[in-house]
Structure 1
Amino acid sequence: MLWIYNIGIAMYGLLLRFASLFNAKAKLFVEGRQHIFEKIAQKLNPDDQPVWFHFASLGEFEQGRPVLEKLKAADPQQKIVVTFFSPSGYEIRKNYALADVFYLPLDTAANAKKFIDIVNPKLTIFTKYEFWFHYFKALHTRAIPLYLISGIFRPHQAFFKGYGGFYRGILKFVTHFFVQNEESLALLKDIGINQVSLSGDTRFDRVYENAKHPKKLPEIEAFCEGSPIFIAGSTWPEDEKLLVALTAKYPDWKFIIAPHEIGPSHIQEIESLFPQAIKFSVFSSQFAADQAQSQKLKAQSLIIDNIGMLSSLYQYAKVAYIGGGFGAGIHNTLEAAAFGLPVIFGPKYDKFQEAKDLISIGAAKSINTSGELLEATAHFIANEKAATAAQNYVNEKKGATEMIINTLHQH
């Protein structure tokens, strides 16, 4: 099975090189890994013995960030290395102040050996998922502790199938698992993995702290001008088409649309759907020049054409729509819920326990059509209890970070 895995990794690398000729994200993936070992060696000393955190992308970074920051606060001199698999994580957090940030080289035996030779971590923490055979084996061989935090497992995964012996072997390289729910705990124990703790999801700690100390955005406050706000976060084209009916139904409301992809072509598509909208980049420059007054009165919708603002935008809204539910799956509902916002999303949410929980307590609704979106919005506008339920849900679920830190200290 290992030879199939190795061929798969090699083929993946070749496909990315080919895709990089015409795809911007693939180009970042490939170019970011050029001379990667030299870049790492320039930043690190052999005796640093950092704590190594790996994240698939930006969402996993935000999930593991509370643990990273707690460790750093406990020992400010401790060196930390962060690696990303995806450009969407690396490009946004490459200048993160608390760590040296790199791309993770592809998982080959040679890359894993060379990476760990140079980094020489004292312990390693992966968040949620990504199970790389050669990296995990190299850490295990050198007796470097490896922890998985906020892990979540499902019965359909290869680890739990009859043919999954190779994948179960990867799990056995992990020193300890911190999982989100009882199902994950039971699944791991059923295959003989007992080094598991039920800790919950560190995202609750992250979004709780963000809601307690939100970054103020003067331009957004000027745009809102006291109007009730509907925010649509991490949207895709299928989501945005549904939102058009809302702007007509609620002319007294203002709408903030923060798309998942902010390339020029996608922004133009949104502008064509919302011709009275104004881009944040335009509005903010006018605001800085003290000319925003006339524009903000005309614009009902604001298109956020940058990355990094969304988690602070929710503080200004009353209802949130979370995108992705017509594609691979919904994005982060907890950031909105932490601010006491009822949330609406598309039909593909079955992999997200928090979405199911929010629906069960009346703080979320899943929709399929623009008509259902209108009904859900009207329901939440009239139902103030939904906001309280959303916020209480987040408050009651926080605490995973503290448990993980305490267990790490014991180990």
Structure 2
Amino acid sequence: MPVLTIYRLLTIGLTPLAGAALGWRAKQGKEDPERIGERMGAPGLARPAGRLVWLHGASLGESLALLPLVERFIQRGVEVLVTTGTVSSAKVLRARLPAGAVHQFLPLDAPQFVERFLEHWRPDIVLFAESELWPNMIRAIHARRLPLVLVNATISRRSAARWRRLPGGARTLFGEIDLCLAQNAESAARYLGLGAPRVRVCGNLKFDVPPPPVGAGRLAEFNGAIGPRPVWAAISTHAGEEEIAIDAHLSLSGEVPSLLTIIVPRKPERGAEIAALASAKGLAVGLRSRDGEPRRGVQIYVADTVGELGLFLRAVSVVFTGKSLTAEGGHNPIEPAKLGCAILHGPHVENFADIYGELAAARAAARVSDADSLARALQFLLSDPSRMRKMGRAGAEVVRKLGGASQSIMAAIEPYLAQSALEQK
């Protein structure tokens, strides 16, 4: 039996359990209990009249990368539906989606839920970001003869190898993608090898995303609470990296006694755990969700809230980007680079090797390997603000030069937009 048929039958068989599974996830904070119906294809909003483009990004980073396209579609007079799969992405998009765009949660990939979703929204064009591939959804979109475009598409060597183990299923599924607009030549070659019929390289949309916003009043209040203290931030950190940041702070405390270290964990729910780590080492700790602005005397400030990265990045001039001291491939450094931060990172940045390579070549980023090397790099930069600012300016220039993907993507999908306009007449 073909692998896609087996997958379809399995998802049909598991459909009756979906409500209970989603309810359990809601209790864990992984689903919005008031919007669980959307995960089963039930619409939370009416479909707007006229042409509708549906864009999907799995989680926060992928969905934010779609914002430049959202703006361009709205300027063209096209309605926009954005779907995601995570609670955190929904919270952030609520504040950042412009008028003319609405958000829904992506339904689970069960045929019944997929058909209910598509029947209500009836999109004219479908754009999926990066490597989000749901077999039942893709097959249903193809059956309705809707154009399906992968944008900002990327696929790792490991993921491509997994797909190649299912040669028949992979070629069927990838063959139903109308157009694949890849971030780079390596991903483009992998998509072609897996059976995507039309592939182009358009660059990385994340270079075109505006930096995360913050109100002037909130920034002034936060900076006022910090005062003249030297400050740095460890952002998007994972387990193990917070302890390294805390140890780096301890190493620096003798040289920089008034130092403030801001830790922004990738998962805000780990805030109390990180605060306990710092307290156990004798440090004064502030937890944003509990204590508000950093008080005088706080040494480690744990920013355990959602959607405030723009505030913290504007309050510092040097950051450490997480998931890079663990063997997990690193996090995207574009946002801190856009805001002129000098960037420090660990050795594991394979997921964004090209970007980190460009930043390193421009001397906008530097590699560290442990708490000692992180402390030395921070002392070097914090003691020389002019060098720190020079690194930040170099990084901002790198990401400015690498922009333009949204324009290339819009040009590539223009034939689909023109066709949908003709069909509306």
- Whole-Å separation in 1 of the counterparts to 2:10 and 2:265: 32
In the aligned structure 2, how far is the partner of 1:274 from the partner of 1:402? 52
Q: How do residues 220-239 of structure 1 correspond to structure 2 at under 5 angstroms?
A: 220-239=222-241
Change (3 A) 1:38 1:321: closer
Q: What is the aligned-residue identity percentage?
A: 22
Quick one: which of 189, 192, 196 aligns to 1:193?
196
Greater alpha carbon shift after TM alignment, 47-56 vs 121-130: 47-56
2:167 and 2:34 map into 1 onto residues whose CA distance is 34
Give, as a single letter, the amino acid of the residue that structure 2 aligns with 1:79.
Answer: E
CA deviation after TM superposition for structure 1 residue 300, in Å: 3.3
Q: Which deviates more from structure 2 when the two are superposed, residues 115-124 or residues 140-149?
A: 140-149
Of 112, 115, 121 in structure 1, the residue corresponding to residue 114 of structure 2 is 112
User: What is the deviation of 1:235?
Assistant: 1.9
CA RMSD across the alignment: 3.1
Cα distance, 1:8–1:55 mapped onto 2, change above 3 Å: farther
Instruction: Decide whether aligned partners of structure 1 residues 215 and 395 sit closer, same or farther in structure 2, where only a CA change above 3 A counts.
Output: farther
CA distance in 2, matches of 1:36, 1:18: 11
Conserved? CA contact 1:20–1:26, under 8 Å:
no
5+ residue gaps, structure 2: 417-425
Is the 8 Å Cα contact of residues 16 and 26 (structure 1) preserved in structure 2?
no
Q: Distance in 2 between matches of 1:281 and 1:29?
A: 20
- 2:258 is the counterpart of 1:279: no
- In structure 2, what is the equivalent of residue 290 of structure 1? none
Aligned match of 1:266: 273
Task: State how far apart, in whole Å, the 2-side matches of 1:16 and 1:336 are.
Answer: 40
Question: Alignment partner of 1:231: what SS?
Answer: strand
Judging changes above 3 Å, is the alpha-carbon distance between structure 1 residues 17 and 369 closer, same or farther for their aligned structure 2 residues? farther
User: For the residues of structure 2 that align with 1:154 and 1:351, how far apart are their CA atoms?
Assistant: 8
Partner of 1:393: 398
Q: Distance in 2 between matches of 1:151 and 1:352?
A: 14
Q: What is the rounded CA distance, in whole Å, between the counterparts of 2:356 and 2:400 in structure 1?
A: 15
What is the distance in 1 between the residues matched to 2:158 and 2:415? 33
Contact 2:283 2:300 in 1 (8 A): no
Aligned length: 396
Which letter maps to 2:121? V
Alignment of 1:131 onto 2:133: yes
Structure-2 change in CA distance of 1:242 and 1:193 (3 Å) = same
Pair 1:182 & 2:189 matched: no
Rate the CA distance shift 1:42–1:258 in 2: closer, same or farther, 3 A: closer
Please report how far the alpha carbon of residue 188 of structure 1 lies from its aligned counterpart in structure 2 after TM superposition. 2.9
What secondary structure is seen at the aligned counterpart in 2 of 1:71? helix
- Tell me which amino acid in the other structure corresponds to 1:114: R
Question: Aligned partner of 1:299: which letter?
Answer: V
Q: Which residue of 2 aligns with 1:322?
A: 321
Partner of 2:422: none
Q: Taking structure 1 as reference, are residues 178 and 43 closer, same or farther at Cα in structure 2, changes over 3 Å only?
A: same
Alignment-mate amino acid for residue 259 of structure 2? W
Residues 268 and 20 of structure 1, relative CA distance in 2, 3 Å threshold: farther
Q: Secondary structure at the match of 2:157?
A: coil
Equivalent residue number for residue 175 of structure 2 = 172
Distance 1:69 1:204 in 2: 15
Contact 1:201 1:400 in 2 (8 A): yes
CA distance in 1, matches of 2:310, 2:110: 36
> How far off is 1:230 after superposition?
0.5
Farther off after superposition, 183-192 or 241-250:
183-192
The DSSP-based 3-state class of the residue aligned with 1:336 is: helix
Which letter does structure 1 place at the counterpart of 2:181? F
Say if 1:150 and 1:178, in contact at 8 Å, map to a contact too: yes
Q: Which residue of 2 aligns with 1:339?
A: 339
Deviation per CA, 1:151-199, whole angstroms, max 9, x where unpaired?
Answer: 1123332466253331232222222122111112223334553522211
Q: Distance in 2 between matches of 1:32 and 1:328?
A: 32
Tell me, in whole angstroms, the C-alpha distance in 1 between the residues paired with 2:243 and 2:296: 24
Does the 8 A contact of 1:234 with 1:331 survive in 2? yes
> 1:93-108 residue pairs with structure 2 within 5 A?
93-94=93-94, 96-98=97-99, 99-108=101-110
Query: What's 2:359 paired with?
Result: 358
Alignment-mate amino acid for residue 339 of structure 1: L
Deviation by residue 1:312-365 (Cα, 9 ceiling, x = unmatched) = 321221210112232644223111111222222334321223234333443333
Q: Which residue of 2 aligns with 1:44?
A: 47
Residues in 2 aligned to 1:83 and 1:2: alpha-carbon distance in whole angstroms = 24
Structure 1 stretches lacking a partner, 5+ long? 288-294
